[in-house]
Amino acid sequence: MSLNLTTEGDVAWLELDHGKANEMGCEQLRGFEQLCDTLDARALVTWTRRRSRRGTPIFIAGANVTERRGWTDDQVRAHVRWQRSVLARVRRLPLFHVGVVHGVALGWGTEYLICCDYRIATADASFGLPETGLGILPGAGGSSELWSLIGVPQALRLGMTCERISADEALRIGLVQEVVPDLDAALDRARALTARVAHNSPTSVAAFKRAVLGSVGASAETRRELEATAYEHCVSGGDAAIGRASFEQIRAGEPVPWGPRVDFEA
């Protein structure tokens, strides 16, 4: 795999460390496809310690535009459709995905946050969508999905002005959920969150995420039925019975012998 992936128990840690500025190109997209096909974990943390030559922290500085030199318009269109579909797959991974943003997150870097379930920024983080100033638009979810996180006015502001915003402003508009002083504090927080997820039923966590994401934009009737089906999936998969039998251990914070994850598809 072209991505730097390590594991701590049931938690996978994806450290971005490639190219000049963690820019995203074909090699990374293939790595994410492989990750979606093979990853067996209860939680995932995306993070980086990368810095520029001048010492500026960098999360993801954008897409790898250099590799597109000499491409035809048809090749560019196909590539952007590919990256959009890959990020959509990452968004649907049946686990808890925490994005830890330390440094510059531009273009693809801001759009990557759409495929995270929870976002923690350090005080040094900054965000922006520079694409309309380059004659294109945010094409990896920034135009179609970002509004669902921060609202239409803020999405239009970021995409149409190309304004770069701070971590505190990202927190204010809902692009991130927490701001912490530095990277070590962010990793500690991510480790604490994912440890709690790894303690829970993998089948139930995956079904809950599927029910929540599947309810976005659906009718009330569809949402209720999706919730019912997801709940019943946990019952038929056996983890509900394990939970009932292990209630005292759960209250005491002790490990529970959950079964392997049984994925739920509505």
Q: For 230-255, how does the pLDDT look when each residue is reduced to its tens digit (9 = 90+)?
A: 999 999 999 999 999 999 988 888 88
Q: Where are the domains of the chain?
A: 4-197, 201-251
> Is the pLDDT confidence value at 266 over 70?
no
> Is the pLDDT confidence value at 214 over 60?
yes
Confidence of residue 265 (pLDDT cuts 50, 70, 90): confident
Angle between helices 26-38 and 73-91 (to 10 degrees): 30
Could you say which of 3.90.1180.10, 3.40.50.10470, 3.90.226.10, 3.30.465.10 is the CATH number of the domain covering 4-197?
A: 3.90.226.10
CA dist 235 and 112 (Å) reads 34
